Structures are given as C-alpha cells and as structure tokens.
Structure 1
Amino acid sequence: MGRVLLRAVFVLALPAVLIAVWWAASSGSVNPYWPPLRTILTTFPDVWTADRLRSDVLPSVLRLLGGYATAAVVGVALGTVIGSYRRVRALCEPVLEFLRAVPPPVLVPVIMLFAGIGNSMKVVVIASGCVWPILLNTVEGVRAVDSVMLETARSYGITGAARLRSLVLPSAGPQIFAGLRQALSIGIILMVISEMFAASNGIGFTVVQFQRSFAIPDMWTGILVLGLLGFVLSVVFQLVERRVLAWYHGLRASTRRSA
C-alpha cells in the first residue's frame, strides 16, 4: 500500500506543480489570448457537457482507436515478415526509409482525394503516421531474437506459427510495445490534424471553431481535454503493457535484485 501511495505521489507531483505555476503566472492576466487558469476551469464544465462529449470526444476517440489498431496490425505483421527474412529486409529498407521520411500531415490532401472527407480519411491519416514506429521497432525486435534460441526451437521441431507465437513475438514484445507507445502520441496529434480538414465534429474541429470565433477560454478547455485524453490513454497503455509483458518486467526486477 505504501509503495502504491508513493508511486501516486510521484505521478501527480509534477502535474500539480505545473498547474500551480500556471495558476500563479496567469492569475493577473488581462491578455485575451492568455486567460487566467481559473477562468478556463470555470468555463470547462459549461463547454464540455455530456452532449458535447458524445458528439465530439467520442468520435475522436473512435477514429484514433481505429487508425491505431489498423497501424498496429499492419506494422506488427509487416515488421515480423521483414525482420525474419534478410533478403526481404534488404529489398524493403530503401522504400521504408523513403516513406518514413514523408510527414503524415503532408499526405492529408492526397488521402482526401482517395478516401474522401469522411471518417475513413481520418482513420487512414492516423494509421499512416502510427504505422512507422510500430513497423520499425517490430523489425528491430524480430532481428534481435537470440539466434541460439531460434536454433534450439528448430532442433525441437518448433517452426512456423508455433515458433512465431512462442518465441519470436514474445522476444520482440518489449521492442514492439516501445513502438506502440511512440505511435500513441503520434496518433493523438494526427487525430487533431485530420479533424481540422473538412470535419464536422471531433476535438480538433471544436478547438478550431472556438479559435475562429475568438472564444479563447473555450479553446483552452479543448486543449485541456486533449491533455486529459492523452493522460488517460497513457495510463491504460501502461496497464496493458504491464499485463502483457509481466514476464519481462519480472525478469528485469529479479536481475536488479540479484545484482
């Protein structure tokens, strides 16, 4: 119990300090573009009602999850194939480096031509940016699988899907989750950017509408919603990661104790 409380203090200490600094720095502000934090917090419940959460936050979260899940499936599948075969990796590496260097926001107008301006466009934009850290980390994770373990599995007749499920993916799991963590933050950014183009709802659309109508405190509340969404998704991701990689964290803890 004491360890959980100490961890909670460490997690909440820095946000509490930043909020206190923001409150103190903005308390006497008369700048219309930099309203006091108390004004923003007072405005928050009036802006983000249950109806607005359903009409704007829920669609944004669904688009993010759709694009993120698509990127995860494609990235892990392609990364496993590319990382497992040296010739495939040599063939694909120049193309992957070229495509990775193209910023996903630049592709939004191109994607709009093929996918339209509906939800499918936004999901594709999110997936196009999230897939690269997942793909590249999966490739590196699969490449780093211990060759002795691979040979041992082959000698025992463990091949194909069984080897993939029992050895390759678990061994590459920490690296894959590192890519998934990077992709999550990229996905939130692309979710907002995609909703600024020909959208009729979503958090990004709402923030832009507030900015265009000079409802500055309302705009700041939208930024707070994005921060809270990112925090909640990060906590959920950590819980999932700790559950899936429990063996890995246990191994690291035992190694530190023995050292």
Structure 2
Amino acid sequence: MTKRKLGYVALEVGVTTALLAAAWIYLDGDRGFAWTSVPQMLEAFRNAWLFDRVGSDVVPSLVRLALGFGAATLLGVALGVAVGASRTVRLLTQPVISFLRSLPAVSLLPLSLVLFGIGTAQKVFIIAFVCCWPIVLHVADGIVELDATMLSTARAYRIHGLDRLRLVLLPAITPRIFAGMRISLSLAVLLLVTSEMVAASNGIGYFVWRSQLSFSIPDMWAGIMLLGLFGYGLNALLQVVERRVCRWHINMTGRTE
C-alpha cells in the first residue's frame, strides 16, 4: 500500500473516530427523548444484531437488495447499450427516460403494491426501477463518447454483432458501468429502507419503523447504525470489485471513472 493510500485510510479512520468521540461526549447526558447515549445504542445494537435478528431481518433485506440491484444493473446496461448505440433510439427515448427517472420513488409505492403485493417482488421492483436509470445514462454516454479510432478499427477487422459488443463496447465502457453502479448502490440502500417501512413484516427498515412506533429509541438508533455500516460495507466491496475489474483503466489513468 502506497503512502498516499495509507494517508487516505488514516484520514478516514481519524475523522470517523473523532466524530464518534464527539457524539459520545455530546450524548452523555439528557438530550431529549429522541436521543440516547452511545453505550445504550451499542448495547441495543449487540442485542438486536449480534446475532438475534440476522436471520429474520438482515438476510431478507440482503436478498431484496441483491435482487433489485442486480436487476437494475442488467437492465441498465442493456438499455444503455441500446440507447447509446443508435442516435435514432437515443432521440426517441430521451423524453421517456427523462420522465421515468424523474419520478419520485415514493410515488411508485402505491403502484408497486397494487402490482406485486407486499412481498419481496414489490421491494425488488422499486429498487430495480429507480436504480437502473443512473446506469442507463452512464452507459449511453460512455458509448457515445467512445474513441472513433477504436470503432473504426473494429469495423476494419470485421468485428460485428455480439463480438463487437463483447470484445469492444463492454470492455471500453466498464468504468462507466461501475460509475453508474456506485450511484445506484446508495439509492438502492435508501429505497430498501423506504420500501420496508411500507406494508412489510420483516427487514431492517421494518425494524427501524417498528422501533420508532413503539418508542424504543435505542433499538431505532441501533437499526440506523446497522444501515450506515451496511451502506459503507457494500460501497467498499463494490470499490474492491471495481479496482480488480478495471485495473487496466486505473493503471492507465491513475483514477476510477
């Protein structure tokens, strides 16, 4: 690990530790009904998530997030390639895409409940629908901005159809795919929690919502803490995968997309 990376890690750990210490000191007293001390949060976190409610709440949330985010990635790449590869398709679909990606996720909840009920399919639909659009836009822009020399070389070597997609287009736009996935992942975690707070019987979002309604403030904060760790860990995992898959791009440019 280089000195620069060590500096980033030290800064990240240092800032996080300082914020936790500040929260510990600030909450060490009577700050109102909605607040609780850090030791109480940690105790509630231990009782709830190590490992009493992992099977009943964490695993269902992970499954929903994986299915929704996976579907969003596949759909986003497919639509992005179709839109970016044809100027005609891009002009025809631009108003529709702009409209669909501007829809608030909350407005889709009644429709998803009518179409899919209150099960896992409803949560997966919400995540996949909202999270696919950042990937679509990044993939389409990546194809539009491809080097003309590379495309001309592919035509000269008579690389067409699926071979052109598999050997030329997808490798070239992989950094843009991951850029869209990073944005979509943060949205996916937010949408997971939102969808589980409406007509759900399990999941992390349901746990936080139920704790709030029952005025179990330490449990509510324990759920919020888990969501923070959840999002941070998934983002770190995606960055590891991106560095391995896009190593050629990072070595060439010195940065991710």
Q: Aligning the two structures, in what range does the TM-score lie when normalised by the shorter sequence?
A: over 0.9
Instruction: Kindly state the Cα deviation for residue 165 of structure 1 after the two structures are TM-superposed.
Output: 1.6
Whole-angstrom distance in 1 between the partners of 2:147 and 2:97 = 25
Alignment-derived partner of residue 188 in structure 2 = 187
Q: How many residues align?
A: 254
Alignment pair present for 1:12 and 2:25: no
TM-score by length of structure 1 reads 0.94
1:27-59 Cα distance to aligned partner (Å, 9 max, x none): 123412111212211222112232301110110
Aligned amino acid, residue 246 of structure 2: L
1:127-156 Cα distance to aligned partner (Å, 9 max, x none): 111111011111111111111110111011
Over 3 Å counting, the alpha-carbon distance change for 1:24 and 1:70 in structure 2 is same
The 5 Å alignment of 1:105-254 reads: 105-253=106-254
Whole-angstrom distance in 2 between the partners of 1:42 and 1:114 = 40
Residue segments in structure 1 that go unaligned for 5+ positions in a row: 255-259
Over 3 Å counting, the alpha-carbon distance change for 1:2 and 1:161 in structure 2 is closer
1:187-222 Cα distance to aligned partner (Å, 9 max, x none): 000000110111110000000110011000110000
Alignment-derived partner of residue 56 in structure 2 = 55
Instruction: Kindly state the Cα deviation for residue 158 of structure 1 after the two structures are TM-superposed.
Output: 1.3
Aligned amino acid, residue 150 of structure 1: L
Instruction: Kindly state the Cα deviation for residue 167 of structure 1 after the two structures are TM-superposed.
Output: 1.7
Secondary structure of 2:76's partner? helix
**In the alignment, is the contact (CA less than 8 A) between 1:26 and 1:37 conserved in 2?**
yes
For structure 1, which segment, 6-15 or 148-157, has the greater mean C-alpha deviation from structure 2 after superposition? 6-15
Alignment pair present for 1:94 and 2:95: yes
Whole-angstrom distance in 1 between the partners of 2:28 and 2:48 = 21
Secondary structure of 1:51's partner? coil
Instruction: Kindly state the Cα deviation for residue 7 of structure 1 after the two structures are TM-superposed.
Output: 4.2
Whole-angstrom distance in 2 between the partners of 1:96 and 1:37 = 45
Aligned amino acid, residue 85 of structure 1: S
Instruction: Kindly state the Cα deviation for residue 81 of structure 1 after the two structures are TM-superposed.
Output: 0.9
Secondary structure of 2:199's partner? coil
Secondary structure of 2:254's partner? helix
**In the alignment, is the contact (CA less than 8 A) between 1:144 and 1:172 conserved in 2?**
no
Whole-angstrom distance in 1 between the partners of 2:141 and 2:152 = 19
Instruction: Kindly state the Cα deviation for residue 5 of structure 1 after the two structures are TM-superposed.
Output: 4.4
Whole-angstrom distance in 2 between the partners of 1:114 and 1:107 = 11
Whole-angstrom distance in 2 between the partners of 1:210 and 1:148 = 59
**In the alignment, is the contact (CA less than 8 A) between 1:195 and 1:201 conserved in 2?**
yes
Aligned amino acid, residue 109 of structure 2: V
Alignment pair present for 1:82 and 2:89: no
TM-score by length of structure 2 reads 0.95
